[in-house]
Amino acid sequence: MIPDYSYYKTIFKGKQLTFAFVDMDMLASNSAAIANNSHRKNIRIASKSIRVSKILDWILKSNPVYKGIMCYTMPEAVFLSKKGFDDLLLGYPGWHPEQIKEVCGELKKGKTITLMIDSIEHIKHLEKIGKEENCIIPVCLDIDMSSDFPGLHFGVWRSSVFSKGDALKVAEKIRQCSFVRLDGVMGYEAQIAGLGENAPDKLVMNAVITFLKKISTKEIAKRRGEIVSELRKMGFQLRFVNGGGTGSMNTTGLEEEVTEITVGSGFFSPALFDNYKDFRYQPAAAFAIEIVRQPKPGIFTCLGGGYVASGETGLNKQPKIYLPEGAKLIAQEGTGEVQTPVLYNGTEELKNGDPIFLRHSKAGELFERFNKLYLVKDGKIADEVPTYRGEGYCFL
């Protein structure tokens, strides 16, 4: 059964708007599909795309292929560690000494938390704190997986480590350390994993992106393989080699050196992921806003809704109306902080107090707006769980 407007409207009858929810039936479908597409690699869950500890726990238990979490800040990693999660990889470098010391506190308890680095400066900083805390700090070397073409940097600006030579310089510094240990390597190919090539009404751009992705995929696989091979020749015992994202599983999973793929957005399949042609997951997460007035026939104005996604600005970063069918945003207004007008030309008889369901452009960011969310299963509300925010935390 494909859920329609009346399905969700009936489930949430009497619930106070605005609210967010996850359809657990769709999440289960997505989780199974992602596991089946893992190419026998482990899958690390990107917490940035979830931000609900109980759902992180549910995914980890849903299939043996799910092992470990990629966190986005050190306080979040410590929070999850204290809640019983383990094998936590920081996706981004951190610097604050007190936060690093808190990580050391968890490491001394026997937990596995790996910090991200991409420079000699990072290593010197961690070596100093590790010595002060008498704690060996595991680190992951972040490799820039973008591709440089004449006049075009195809990818995002992340790591300062691009070439094999860059990686070996940083690795040599780690080898000289007593309190920093190289635990793994990561390379996130954002230009493959995070860039759709099937956007509506953009045929030329889609063709260009598809062409660049094809070339980039071959180039980064070769470079990553060479770097990992050289690190092993230096004597490093790498616990993991991490790569990919939801949008690059089909290519990253084929790389022999890669041992695990990070996946986050695919579990909820937000609106931006409608623009990929190689896969399609179910829209498992959404939110509802309330109709509060009708300025004229065919226009219904709702309270709130302006949950715009991060990144470069553009219409694709606004929430996307999900249900009812026949509803769309007004281009001149979009989704607003306090009101969102909606054009409607459908069959439902809408009135004040009725919900309009929307999907966020990205996964995870939606739940920074809500203290709790409903879990829907088998046509009813199965549970009500707190988000990070609902547990009293705002990590970024």
- Phi and psi, residue 270, nearest 5°: -70, 180
pLDDT tens, position by position, 288-307: 999 999 999 999 999 999 99
For residue 228, give Cα distances in angstroms to 141, 224, 236, 262: 10, 6, 9, 18
Listing DSSP states for 303-355 in one string gives: E----PPSSS-SGGGS-EEEESTTEEE-TTT-S-SSEEEEEE-SSS---TT-E
Average of per-residue pLDDT values in the chain:
93
Residue 365, pLDDT > 90, answer yes
pLDDT tens, position by position, 129-168: 999 999 999 999 999 988 888 888 888 888 899 899 999 9
Report DSSP state, residue 156. Answer: -
Q: What does the domain layout of the chain look like in residue ranges? A: 1-24+279-386, 38-266
Give domain 1-24+279-386's CATH architecture.
Answer: Beta Barrel (2.40)
Confidence of residue 55 (pLDDT cuts 50, 70, 90): very high
Calculate mean pLDDT across residues 85-91. Answer: 98
- Phi and psi, residue 302, nearest 5°: -110, 160
pLDDT tens, position by position, 196-212: 666 666 776 667 667 67
Report pTM: 0.93
User: Could you confirm whether domain 38-266 is CATH 3.20.20.10?
Assistant: yes
Residue 341, pLDDT > 80, answer yes
pLDDT tens, position by position, 103-113: 999 999 999 99
